[in-house]
Amino acid sequence: MHRTIDNKIYYLHVDYQNNLLAISNEAEQLLERISGVYIEQGRSDAWGRPRKNIDLEYNLPNPFGGSSSSFTMRGYTFHEHLEMVGLINMNGRVYDPILGRMLSPDNLVPDAANTQGYNRYSYCYNNPLKYTDPDGNEPITISAIVIGMAYGAIIGAGTSAAVYTSSSLAMGNFNVNDLGKASLMGAIGGAVGGGLGAGFAGSAFGQSIGFGVLKTTTANVAGNLALGNKMTVGSLVGSIAGGILYGSIPGFTGVAGGSLKNGMMEMIHNTSISGVTGGVSGIIGAGIDGKDMAAAYDAGIVAGALGGAVSSGLMVSIFGSAVIPSDNVRDVVKKYNSQSNNNSIYAPVFRRGGLYGLFSSRGVTWGRNLVVPQNDQDTYTHEYIHYLQAIKQGFGNMQMKGIYEQTKYIINGENWNPYYTKGTNEYYAEHPKEFFRLYKH
């Protein structure tokens, strides 16, 4: 949507790659049809180079001059066209659609496991039909967002169902229909959170927002249904908005003391924040649904606090309470934080104990939760690299890649060991120096 100086609204239509296709007005009248990028002159190829519509020849008399829409200078993947010089400004770098190359090298290796990532001048791994480069620094793929959404949906559905079941059974009002609603709405919220995490891969704050949406939506939905409150589209949207607020608030990372103290402090911290964000969610949902905002605020506080308390209790029960690492481990974490430029509120919380600790001695990372059954520096370091990988790749994509690696390891045994196979997440978690050298945080 675009508002011009004549105070009229025009709609910009794009394809799946975000290429500008057409422009229409408020009356749904088509004003300009843009073939790929260039109005009526021709259709751009996959690399953004203009060509004719009919014979697809690259012999336009003036392919760049005056070719963009009179409403906007944007076109190929909705980036700004520098028509006088035939280049495309992608913000971080400038792209030449004729060469199919950037004019300056990428600051990062986008994917250490992809050989195409080592050509710093290449555009989107030499695969522009699959990838786009929103900021000129690193390409993202639509499939990565889909994977993140799929992971978020699975986790969101399971978490919301678990929180609802625990809450409703305790209050004696469990029913299967509400369990289904909790699972469905938790899946939607989780998909949004996972998609945000994938879309903002590389940003610690982006992961905090994405994970906050997943966590808050599942808690709010389950809490409301357990209390007998109706869930609407407005309340679901409000829960997602509350999750964005939740992700903007620093999370609990542990205090000096034993597991009981840390468990109680975490529940108090998360219950309080979830209550506040639940109230905000209630107001937003009521505004959308046209209901009493004051009543929705009060109900949202109670539902959010209930969901937050139960989800925190489940986390502590399964993965254990927070622990404060020893001084030498904290020194290592501080060094890695410095190398990764990670000063975000999305700080890791180390955990030990719980049901998981009774059955496994292996470390595991879930979002910003780093479970370290073994109290040794190697385990802490390994899981912390996974935490940084989750920031780099998006928490959902990192988890799915980990599941893939472990499944392949189980099937193939020592014939394919991810801990010794260069390019896997497990390999770089075992070799931190190589991780930082390749990703150059």
Per-residue pLDDT tens digits for 6-56: 677 778 787 877 887 777 877 777 765 554 444 444 467 889 887 766 677
Residue 398: inside a domain: yes
The DSSP H or E segment spanning 220 is helix 204-226
CA–CA distance, 219 with 161 (Å, rounded to integer): 10
CA–CA distance, 417 with 186 (Å, rounded to integer): 35
The distance from CA 5 to its chain's CA centroid, rounded to whole angstroms, is 35
351 and 424 share one domain: yes
- Across the strands, what pairs with 96? 101
Residue 110: inside a domain: no
| 423 touches 113 (CB < 8 A) | yes
DSSP 93-115: SEEETTTTEESS--SS-S-TT-G
Among 321, 346, 372, where does a domain finish? 321
Residue at token pair 């109670």: 302
| 214 touches 399 (CB < 8 A) | no
Write the CB contacts of 436 (distance below 8 Å, at least 6 apart in sequence): 336, 339, 340
The DSSP H or E segment spanning 10 is strand 9-14
Residue 44: inside a domain: yes
83 and 20 share one domain: yes
390 and 244 share one domain: no
Q: What pTM was estimated for this model as a whole?
A: 0.68
Helix, strand or coil, per DSSP, at residue 146: helix
Domain interval for residue 361:
327-439
Residue 112: inside a domain: no
CA–CA distance, 318 with 366 (Å, rounded to integer): 12
331 and 313 share one domain: no
29 and 63 share one domain: yes
Amino acid of residue 364: V
Write the CB contacts of 441 (distance below 8 Å, at least 6 apart in sequence): 339, 340, 341, 342, 388, 392
Among 267, 293, 321, where does a domain finish? 321
Residue 109: inside a domain: no
Residue at token pair 């209790």: 313
Query: Per-residue pLDDT for 369 more than 60?
Result: yes
Among 321, 350, 378, where does a domain finish? 321
- What are the pLDDT digits (tens) for 267-297? 999 999 999 999 999 999 999 999 999 999 9
- What are the pLDDT digits (tens) for 217-274? 999 999 999 999 888 899 999 999 999 999 989 889 889 888 999 999 999 999 999 9
